[in-house]
């Protein structure tokens, strides 16, 4: 979790609007009473407030990734991303010490963020598929066929049709997400393969880093898009 991600969290929002405001004001007032310049007193109070908010922000902790807690195809996506990360690390370890190896390590950090994004997307995809199973579209269609054989069942028919429409939307979301994640995985495999060229100076390092950033940005965008379905 970067500073930006840590800042835009409910925990940080609560910290910003908490007793820490009074702490900053109190420190500024105390500084004034002690004869400190008013401008410096305000700055001192603001700094105290800011530091207390930063201290309350979520820490940069790696998520525990367990592909066996999600079903296919999401499990395979996560395992493939993990495998790519291992291959990249092996390439870095085989690279001679120097500027290129340092830049490769920076690339690894970015791709680790991409792995984390992949994990979150996979978890959400798994949740969507589980929701589809709970709705049980086969049973819903069977019930709808039965209802059509009865008179005065309009309200029940409308209810079942609404549930089936929800299933269709969830299936579309699942398919769209898995297709985009599959394409991203193909790009990740290609980037890991290119790492071998970059590590021996046979590839354009700047272009490589740019392509890695593009992939991570794409994964982040996909994760944000699929997370929006929680409140849609």
pLDDT at 174: 92
pLDDT at 109: 85
Contact between residue 62 and residue 1 where contact means Cβ atoms under 8 Å apart:
no
- Structure tokens that stand for 34 in this block: 């002690």
Is the same domain home to 189 and 222? yes
Q: CA of 139: how far to CAs of 133, 146, 164, 168, 226, in Å?
A: 10, 11, 10, 14, 27
Asked whether residue 61 is assigned to any structural domain, the reply reads: no
Helices (H), ranges, the chain: 3-7, 10-16, 20-33, 38-56, 74-93, 99-135, 137-147, 154-199, 205-227
- Block means of pLDDT (10 residues each) for the chain, 232 residues, are 52 72 85 84 85 71 79 93 89 85 85 89 92 90 87 86 90 92 91 85 83 89 82 48
Query: For the chain, what is the domain count?
Result: 2
Contact between residue 84 and residue 189 where contact means Cβ atoms under 8 Å apart:
yes
Is the same domain home to 126 and 215? yes
Asked whether residue 163 is assigned to any structural domain, the reply reads: yes
Closest-CA residue to 107 (of 84, 123, 80): 84
Is the same domain home to 75 and 99? yes
Alpha-carbon span 27 to 221, nearest angstrom: 41
pLDDT at 231: 46
- Structure tokens that stand for 43 in this block: 């700055």
Is the same domain home to 31 and 114? no
Domain boundaries, position 151: 67-230
Asked whether residue 168 is assigned to any structural domain, the reply reads: yes
pLDDT at 230: 63
Is the same domain home to 118 and 195? yes
Asked whether residue 62 is assigned to any structural domain, the reply reads: no
Alpha-carbon span 86 to 117, nearest angstrom: 17
Is the same domain home to 50 and 156? no
Q: Which of 56, 78, 97 is the last residue of a domain?
A: 56
Contact between residue 189 and residue 80 where contact means Cβ atoms under 8 Å apart:
yes
Is the same domain home to 212 and 111? yes
Q: 145-149 long-range contacts, Cβ below 8 Å, gap at least 24? A: none
């Amino acid at each position: 979790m970067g500073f930006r991600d840590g800042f835009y969290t409910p925990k940080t929002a609560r910290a910003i609007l908490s007793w820490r405001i009074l702490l900053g004001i109190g420190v500024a007032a105390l500084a004034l009473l002690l004869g400190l310049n008013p401008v410096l007193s305000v700055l001192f109070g603001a700094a105290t407030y800011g530091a207390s908010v930063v201290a309350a922000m979520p820490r940069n902790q790696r998520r525990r990734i367990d592909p066996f807690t999600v079903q296919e195809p999401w499990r395979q996506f996560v395992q493939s991303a993990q495998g790519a990360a291992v291959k990249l690390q092996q390439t870095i370890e085989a690279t001679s010490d120097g500027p290129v190896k340092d830049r490769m390590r920076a690339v690894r950090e970015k791709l680790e963020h991409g792995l984390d994004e992949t994990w979150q997307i996979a978890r959400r995809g798994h949740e969507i598929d589980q929701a589809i199973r709970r709705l049980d579209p086969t049973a819903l269609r069977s019930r709808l066929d039965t209802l059509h054989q009865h008179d005065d069942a309009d309200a029940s028919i409308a209810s079942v049709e609404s549930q089936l429409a929800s299933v269709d939307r969830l299936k579309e979301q699942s398919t769209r997400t898995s297709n985009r994640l599959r394409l991203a995985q193909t790009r990740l495999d290609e980037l890991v393969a290119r790492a071998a060229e970059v590590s021996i100076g046979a590839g354009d390092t700047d272009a490589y880093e740019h392509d890695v950033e593009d992939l991570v940005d794409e994964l982040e965008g996909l994760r944000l898009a699929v997370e929006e379905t929680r409140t849609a």
